C-alpha cells in the first residue's frame, strides 16, 4: 500500500492532472493521494496559492475579481477534464469568508482543498479533508494526536484523496504548514497508513548530484539516506520540504521522488542508513552522494594565544552571538584560533558583536570576511574511502580556487569548505567533475 503526493506542477492543468490519474489508476497499491494547489501552467502564469494570497490581501471591494480568476482556473480544469463537478458553493463560501475576517491560513489553503476535490471526483476516490486528520496544537503539528486520528480515519477508507499543506486545531481553526508543506502532509499520510513507500511526484527525475543550473545535466542520485538528505537540504538542495522526512523516517518508510511527466524514470529513493547498511537496500558504490552549497556567509576569524587553555572561551563567543541573534553555521577551531561562520548579518549588528568579542574575550586579532560561500560534499562512502579529502582539495586547487575554511563533521558524512562567492559556481563544477571521474 502506497501514499502518493503530487505537487503543484502536476496539478496545474487538465493535461497534467490526466497524467496524475493515469499514474494512480495504473498502480493497484496507490490507495491514498495527497495533492497541492495548481501551480504554474507556464513560466508567466500565477500559482493558485499566490492568487489566494492576493485574495486575502485585496481590499474587500476587489476580492470578487481575484476570486473570479481563481474560479476560472478550476472551471478550465473541470471543463477540459469533462468532469461533472460543480464547485460554485465552494467558491461562494471562500469569497464570503475571505471578505468577512477569515484567517490567512484558511484562505491560502483553499487551493489544495479544491484541487483534492477535483482529483477525487476524477478517479472516484473518497475526498477526506485534511482538517479531519492533521492536528495542530499551540501552533505546531501534534504528531502523536495526528498519527492516532489520521490512521483511524484513513484506514476506514479503501482509497482517498487528501488536500496537502494544512490541518486544523482541536477547535477546528485551519492551520497551514509553511510553503511546500504538502510534502509534510504526504509523509504524515504515509506514516498513518503504514505505507510500503511514500511516492513524491514532482516535475524532475529525482535529486541531482549537484545544481543543474551550474552543471549541465548532472547525474541523478539513485539512492540517498535521510542523513545525507538532511545535509544536502541544509545546504540548499531542495526537491521536497526538509521537514517531510521526519514522519516517514521515524516509521522506516522510504520516499521515492518521481517525475509525473516521465513516470518510467525510477527517480531517487530516500532510505534509512540502517536499511542501507544492513543490505535491505543496495546502491552503486560511490564515495560522494551529492554536492550542494549556498552563498553569502560571513567569517569571523579569531586568534588568541593559549586559547586552548582558557576555560569558557568558546562559550563566551557563542553567548555573544546569541545576544545579537546571529546564527552560527560552523565553528572549526585550532589550538590558538577559532573561526565563526555566521549567516549574513547587518554591518551595524556585526560591528557591535565584534566589539563585544574584543572586550569580553580579549583576542589578539579578529578579522571579518564577507561574501563567503559554503559547499558541502556529502556521502556515507567517505568514511571508508582513503583519499577523499585529497580529491576534494585537488579538484579545487586544479581550478585555482582558494579555500577559506575546511570543516568535517564527526560522523565523516560530509566535508564543508568555504570559498569566495565569486568562486562558488566554478568550485561546484570543479568538484563535480573531479569527484565523478
- pLDDT band of 186, cuts 50, 70, 90: very high
Average pLDDT, the chain: 92
The pLDDT of residue 47 is 97
- Using the predicted structure, report yes or no on whether residue 230 has a pLDDT greater than 90: no
- Per-domain residue ranges for the chain? 2-204+239-253, 290-435
The pLDDT of residue 298 is 95
Q: Which residue has the higher pLDDT, 281 or 118?
A: 118
- pLDDT band of 435, cuts 50, 70, 90: confident
- pLDDT band of 293, cuts 50, 70, 90: very high
The pLDDT of residue 411 is 62
CB of 128 within 8 A of CB of 160? yes
* Average pLDDT value for residue range 312-321: 93
* Average pLDDT value for residue range 312-328: 93
- Same fold across 2-204+239-253 and 290-435: no
- For the chain, the three-class secondary structure string (H helix, E strand, C coil) is CEEEEECCCCCCCHHHHHHHHHHHHCCCCEEEEEECCCCCCCCCCCCHHHHHHHHHHCCHHHHHHHHHHHHHHHHHHHHHCCCCCCCHHHHHHHHHHHHCCCCHHHHHCHHHHHHHHHHHHHHCCEECCHHHHCEEECCEECHHHHHHHHHHHHCCCCCEEEECCEEEECCCCEEECCCCCHHHHHHHHHHHHCCCEEEEEECCCCCECCCCCCCCCCCECCEEEHHHHHHHHHCCCCCCCHHHHHHHHHHCCCEEEEECCCCCCCCEEEECHHHHHCCCCCCCCCCCCEEEEEEEEEEEEEECCCHHHCCCHHHHHHHHHHHCCCCEEECCECCCEEEEEEECCCHHHHHHHHHHHHHHHCCCEEEEEEEEEEEEEECHHHHHCCCHHHHHHHHHHHCCCCCCEEEECCCCCEEEEEEEHHHHHHHHHHHHHHHCC
Bridge partners (DSSP) of residue 137 are: 140
Tens of pLDDT, residue by residue over 139-165, are 899 999 999 999 999 999 999 999 999
Tens of pLDDT, residue by residue over 78-112, are 999 999 999 999 999 999 999 999 999 999 999 99
CB of 316 within 8 A of CB of 402? no
The pLDDT of residue 77 is 98
* Average pLDDT value for residue range 195-218: 92
- pLDDT band of 317, cuts 50, 70, 90: very high
- pLDDT band of 361, cuts 50, 70, 90: very high
* Level-2 CATH architecture, domain 2-204+239-253: 3-Layer(aba) Sandwich (3.40)
- Using the predicted structure, report yes or no on whether residue 35 has a pLDDT greater than 70: yes
- pLDDT band of 229, cuts 50, 70, 90: confident
Single pTM value for the model: 0.85
The pLDDT of residue 72 is 97
- Using the predicted structure, report yes or no on whether residue 237 has a pLDDT greater than 80: no
The pLDDT of residue 385 is 76
The pLDDT of residue 256 is 95
- pLDDT band of 249, cuts 50, 70, 90: confident
The pLDDT of residue 74 is 98
Looking up cell 501534534 gives 142
Q: Which CATH number fits domain 290-435: 3.30.2130.10, 2.30.30.90, 3.40.1160.10, 3.90.226.10?
A: 3.30.2130.10
The pLDDT of residue 300 is 94
Amino acid at each position: 500500500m502506497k501514499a502518493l503526493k503530487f505537487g503543484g506542477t502536476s496539478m496545474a492543468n487538465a493535461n497534467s492532472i490526466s497524467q496524475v490519474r493515469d499514474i494512480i489508476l495504473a498502480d493497484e497499491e496507490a490507495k491514498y493521494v495527497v495533492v497541492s494547489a495548481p501551480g504554474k501552467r507556464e513560466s508567466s502564469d500565477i500559482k493558485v496559492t499566490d492568487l489566494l494570497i492576493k485574495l486575502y490581501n485585496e481590499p474587500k471591494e476587489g476580492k470578487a475579481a481575484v476570486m473570479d480568476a481563481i474560479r476560472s482556473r478550476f472551471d478550465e480544469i473541470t471543463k477540459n477534464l469533462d468532469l461533472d463537478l460543480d464547485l460554485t458553493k465552494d467558491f461562494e463560501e471562500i469569497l464570503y469568508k475571505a471578505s468577512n475576517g477569515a484567517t490567512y491560513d484558511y484562505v491560502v489553503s483553499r487551493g489544495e482543498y479544491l484541487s483534492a476535490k477535483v482529483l477525487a471526483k476524477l478517479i472516484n476516490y473518497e475526498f477526506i479533508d485534511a482538517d479531519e486528520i492533521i492536528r495542530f496544537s499551540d501552533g505546531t503539528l501534534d504528531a502523536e494526536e495526528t498519527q492516532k486520528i489520521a490512521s483511524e480515519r484513513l484506514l476506514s477508507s479503501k482509497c482517498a484523496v487528501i488536500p496537502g499543506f494544512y490541518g486544523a486545531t482541536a477547535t477546528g481553526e485551519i492551520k497551514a504548514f509553511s510553503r511546500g508543506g504538502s510534502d509534510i502532509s504526504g509523509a504524515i499520510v504515509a506514516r498513518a497508513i503504514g505505507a510500503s513507500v511514500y511516492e513524491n511526484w514532482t516535475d524532475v527525475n529525482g535529486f541531482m548530484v549537484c545544481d543543474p543550473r551550474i552543471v549541465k545535466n548532472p547525474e541523478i542520485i539513485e539512492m540517498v539516506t535521510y542523513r545525507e538528505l538532511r545535509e544536502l537540504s541544509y545546504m540548499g538542495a531542495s526537491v521536497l520540504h526538509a521537514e517531510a522526512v521526519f514522519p516517514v523516517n521515524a516509521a522506516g518508510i522510504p520516499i521515492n521522488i518521481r517525475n509525473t511527466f516521465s513516470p518510467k524514470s525510477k527517480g531517487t529513493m530516500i532510505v534509512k542508513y540502517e536499511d542501507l547498511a544492513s543490505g535491505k537496500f543496495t546502491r552503486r558504490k560511490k564515495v560522494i552522494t551529492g554536492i550542494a552549497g549556498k552563498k553569502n556567509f560571513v567569517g569571523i576569524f579569531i586568534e588568541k594565544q593559549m586559547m586552548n587553555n582558557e576555560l569558557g572561551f568558546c562559550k563566551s563567543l557563542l553567548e555573544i552571538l546569541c545576544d545579537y541573534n546571529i546564527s552560527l553555521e560552523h565553528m572549526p577551531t585550532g589550538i590558538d584560533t577559532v573561526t565563526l561562520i555566521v549567516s549574513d548579518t547587518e554591518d551595524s549588528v556585526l560591528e557591535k558583536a565584534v566589539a563585544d568579542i574584543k572586550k569580553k574575550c580579549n583576542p589578539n586579532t579578529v578579522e571579518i570576511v564577507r561574501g563567503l560561500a559554503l559547499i558541502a560534499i556529502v556521502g556515507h562512502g567517505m568514511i571508508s574511502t582513503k583519499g577523499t579529502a585529497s580529491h576534494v582539495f585537488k579538484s579545487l586547487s586544479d581550478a585555482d580556487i582558494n579555500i577559506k575554511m575546511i570543516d568535517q563533521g564527526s560522523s565523516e558524512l560530509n566535508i564543508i569548505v568555504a570559498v569566495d562567492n565569486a568562486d562558488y559556481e566554478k568550485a561546484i563544477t570543479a568538484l563535480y567533475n573531479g569527484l565523478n571521474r
